[in-house]
Amino acid sequence: MTRKDLLDIESLSREEIELLLDQAGPFKDLFTRSVKKVPALKGKSVLTLFYEPSTRTLSSFEVAAKRLSADVTNFDVPHSSVVKGETIKDTIDTLQAMRTDYIIVRNKMPGLPQMIARETKACVVNAGDGAHAHPTQALLDGFTFREVFPELTGKKILIVGDILHSRVARSTSTLMRKLGVEVAWLGPGSLVPKHGPKEIERFTNYEEAMRWAPDCIYLLRVQMERQSVQYFPSLREYTKLYGVTPERFKRIADQGTYIMHPGPVNRGVELCDAVMDYDRSLINQQVENGIAARMAVLYWLKPDTPTS
Amino acid sequence: MASLLIQNARIACEENDDLTPADVLVENGTITQIGDQLQAPEGAKVIDASNKILMPAMFDTHIHMREPGQEAKETIKSGSEAAINGGVTGVVLMPNTSPAIDSAAMVRTIYDIAKRDARIPVYTSGCITKGREGKELAGIDGMLKLGVKMLTDDGDAVPDLLLLKHAMEYASEFDCFFASHCEVLELSGPRALNEGVVSHRLGIQGTPACSEEICMDRDIRLAHATGARLHIQHVSSKIGMETIRWWKQMGAKVTAEVSPHHLLFNEEDIGDYDTHYKMNPPLRTAEDNKALLEGLKEGVFDIIATDHAPHTPFEKSQDFVNAPNGITGLETSLISLFHYFVKTNEFGWGLIVNRYSAQPRRMMGLDPVPITEGGKADFLLFDPEGQTTFSSDYMQSLSKNTPFLDKTLDGSIDLVVLGDEVLLER
Ligand SMILES: [Zn+2]
């Protein structure tokens, strides 16, 4: 059971997801040892192609690849806001010439990793494409969630915020549902899509959502730049209606609800300071698990490139 | 060609779905005799059409030939050859060329190129506004004097309602009509696909059907108020179809077209970002397909038009959002309509002849071309038992951006005759 590419969560079966989560476990155990490397990808080359700057995700992939003993190169791409098809095609040709084994790509254009995957023999890992997918984030979320709840079926996760533009919300919702977790969305009506899967409950009111009794609340980062198109009147109003304010935090803590967030956090917007020290906050764990989950992914994929 | 005798054909007409067996004799470009066992005059070309259907050739009112300005996609020469290949012997061009067809001089240019390069009549529409910019009225009188009948800013709606109102009031003096590409840009997102389950899955902001429906309603109201004749282009949604039905019942002077791709495909076909299914208005849902088919059968849609929109492979191989909208249609329309609808008994040949040959001609002020004694020879011979593979070699369009590329469908176009010329024979 191997694949060339990891482009989204949709196309993975439950078995494949569970296999990846199972494999992430031993990789995480490795972190506590004095030698944190395994030779699994020795001699393989991993290339990161990030059209959107993201230090967190980029370093997480870099560390993961290095711990598998791969050679990592950052392909320097111009960080222009719109990258046209032409330049991408040139880049793909260049990558082919470089005979890389793995390409980790992040770009604003939904579907771009698919396009690259079709053109190259290397394994392509989607590290985020526009509002489409972020499969490794979903895997690390699933891994983190499963550490807390080994039996996932029937557990409930409430995802809060800008669902419409969030690849994290899409991929993590899909993964959780595939694992038997119930998913609900909460956010302003303008940011909670009407056309998502029917099995997902939609809330626009915090009270109602809390009565649904989620085991975990997953807070999305508020995209400040969205404000210019007025999806909601003001950040203040957003926080008032959908943020984890001190009052709401008290109730969350009383109910023993876990908190997750893909980072980086806008403190005082989606959550108040107190949440950061909450013993049921899984936010730091998510970062650490990101490396293990990404190691599992790289280890699992099999490039179509000739072994030299 | 002095004379041509077609033997044992079955003749299709627009009035009903019956196919009348007969021989047809053409002399000097005119159908002189229809009857049983006709004698071939000396030197006549004789074609055995056993089991084949003889029908008036098609006429397509929504064609992009990209000349001038984008000759790598299509030229009037390649586009008219594509038309012949698809059994189409007359086309109306859209004016969104570069520069746009917005003046008498540009219309003249198109006619000159067509006269030189095309083996079929090529008509053109003209812009409503200069350069299709939606700011100032185009040179309407000059274009109409050269025979332009249809005014449209296709590719875009006219966003300024007052300007559109003035255009309609002004043009009521003349023998012409307006055609609307309906879209409210503020609601349209990146104009890549329908807002729905697929846009959600692919993570691309979609264009809701109401973007089209609101504009449609707006333009019909305006035409109704000013007394202008209005034609709605490429309707894609159920509510759009219902809107037109309602306005027709209200007595509005409105006509409408539907394209084969909006009847045949829906958003699910996009699959994994397949740009061959990217068009504007976007493919909607299976429910919309059903409603559009119903609208076509009922006559809510007066005509079928392809919106033939050629693009280079390079452009279509970009990522989904940046790839241009549109697919080619001239060469696949008749065969796909046969394969998916006539063969499955959704409708018969009568509907095709009416909506894709006779009515489009009438709309443009031309006479239909029925197979009748004394009529002009302008017909095609269709083999329902044949097959067609839409290979790049088969297709005469410079562009091959069609979902049918390399697919095989039932039916083939074996002969196209216009006047005393055999335009195509297979
Ligand atoms: Zn259009």
Residues B347, B238 share a domain: yes
> Are residues A84 and B318, on separate chains, in Cβ contact within 8 Å?
yes
pTM greater than 0.80: yes
Counted domains in chain A: 2
Residues B108, B227 share a domain: yes
Residues B199, B172 share a domain: yes
Which chain B residue is nearest to residue A169, measuring alpha carbons?
Answer: B203
- Chain A: closest CA distance from residue B89 (Å): 37
Residues B31, B128 share a domain: no
For residue A153, what are the domain limits?
135-285
Residues B104, B243 share a domain: yes
Task: CATH number of the domain at A235, please.
Answer: 3.40.50.1370
> Are residues B319 and A193, on separate chains, in Cβ contact within 8 Å?
no
What digits encode the pLDDT tens for the residues A142-174? 999 999 999 999 999 999 999 999 999 999 999
Residues B301, B255 share a domain: yes
Q: Which of A84, A87, A88, A109 to mutate to test the interface with B (most CBs of B within 10 A)?
A: A109
Residues B101, B16 share a domain: no
Residues A281, A292 share a domain: no
Does residue B195 sit at the A interface (CB-CB below 8 Å)? yes
DSSP collapsed to 3 states, chain A: CCCCCECCCCCCCHHHHHHHHHHHHHHHHHCCCCCCCCCCCCCCEEEEEECCCCHHHHHHHHHHHHHCCCEEEEECCCCCCCCCHHHHHHHHHHHHHHCCCEEEEEECCCCHHHHHHHHCCCEEEEEEECCCECHHHHHHHHHHHHHHCCCCCCCEEEEECCCCCCHHHHHHHHHHHHCCCEEEEECCCCCCCCCCCCCCEEECCHHHHHHCCCCEEEECCCCHHHHHHCCCCCHHHHHHHHCECHHHHHHHHHHCCEEECCCCCCECCCECHHHHHCCCECHHHHHHHHHHHHHHHHHHCCCCCCCC
**Chain B residues inside the 8 Å CB shell of A131:** 203-205
Evaluate the omega torsion of the peptide bond into residue A53 and state whether it is cis, within 30 degrees of 0: no
Q: Rounded to the nearest whole angstrom, what is the distance from the C-alpha of residue B121 to the centroid of ligand 1?
A: 22
Q: Rounded to the nearest whole angstrom, what is the distance from the C-alpha of residue A131 to the centroid of ligand 1?
A: 27
Residue A270 located in a structural domain: yes
Q: Where does a domain end: B344, B363, B382? A: B363
Q: What is the ipTM of this complex?
A: 0.88
Residues B124, B22 share a domain: no
Residues A76, A164 share a domain: no
Which chain B residue is nearest to residue A229, measuring alpha carbons?
Answer: B186
Residues A244, A168 share a domain: yes
Residue B398 located in a structural domain: no
> Are residues A195 and B195, on separate chains, in Cβ contact within 8 Å?
yes
Instruction: Give catalytic residues of B, as residue numbers.
Output: 307
Element (H, E) at B232: strand B230-232
Residue B13 located in a structural domain: yes
- Chain A: closest CA distance from residue B261 (Å): 23
Task: CATH number of the domain at B37, please.
Answer: 2.30.40.10
Residues A210, A120 share a domain: no
> Are residues A131 and B317, on separate chains, in Cβ contact within 8 Å?
no
Residue A57 marked ligand-binding = yes
Looking at residue B268, the DSSP 8-state letter turns out to be G
Which chain A residue is nearest to residue B317, measuring alpha carbons?
Answer: A85
Residue A177 marked ligand-binding = no
Which pLDDT band holds residue A92 (cuts at 50, 70, 90)?
confident
Residue B399 located in a structural domain: no
Residue A119 located in a structural domain: yes
Question: What 3-state DSSP class applies to B88?
Answer: strand
Residue B401 located in a structural domain: no
> Which residues have their alpha-adjacent CB atom under 5 A from ion ligand 1?
B 154, 181
Residues A33, A63 share a domain: yes
Residue A167 marked ligand-binding = yes
φ/ψ of residue A231, rounded to 5:
-80, -25
Residue A247 located in a structural domain: yes
Residue B283 located in a structural domain: yes
Residues A202, A255 share a domain: yes
Residue B145 located in a structural domain: yes
Residue A3 located in a structural domain: no
Q: What string of pLDDT tens digits covers the 426 residues of chain B?
A: 689 999 999 999 999 999 999 999 999 999 999 999 999 999 999 999 999 999 999 999 999 999 999 999 999 999 999 999 999 999 999 999 999 999 999 999 999 999 999 999 999 999 999 999 999 999 999 999 999 999 999 999 999 999 999 999 999 889 999 999 999 999 998 999 999 999 999 999 999 999 999 999 999 999 999 999 999 999 999 999 999 999 999 999 999 999 999 999 999 999 999 999 999 999 999 999 999 999 999 999 999 999 999 999 989 988 899 999 999 999 999 999 999 999 999 999 999 999 999 999 999 999 999 999 999 999 999 999 999 999 999 999 999 999 999 999 999 999 999 999 999 999
Element (H, E) at B107: helix B104-117
**Chain A residues inside the 8 Å CB shell of B203:** 110, 129-133, 167, 170
Residues A225, A214 share a domain: yes
For residue B26, what are the domain limits?
3-54+373-391+406-425
Residues B278, B130 share a domain: yes
Does residue B187 sit at the A interface (CB-CB below 8 Å)? no
Residues B36, B137 share a domain: no
Counted domains in chain B: 2
Residue A98 located in a structural domain: yes
Number of residue pairs across A and B with CB atoms under 8 Å?
Answer: 57
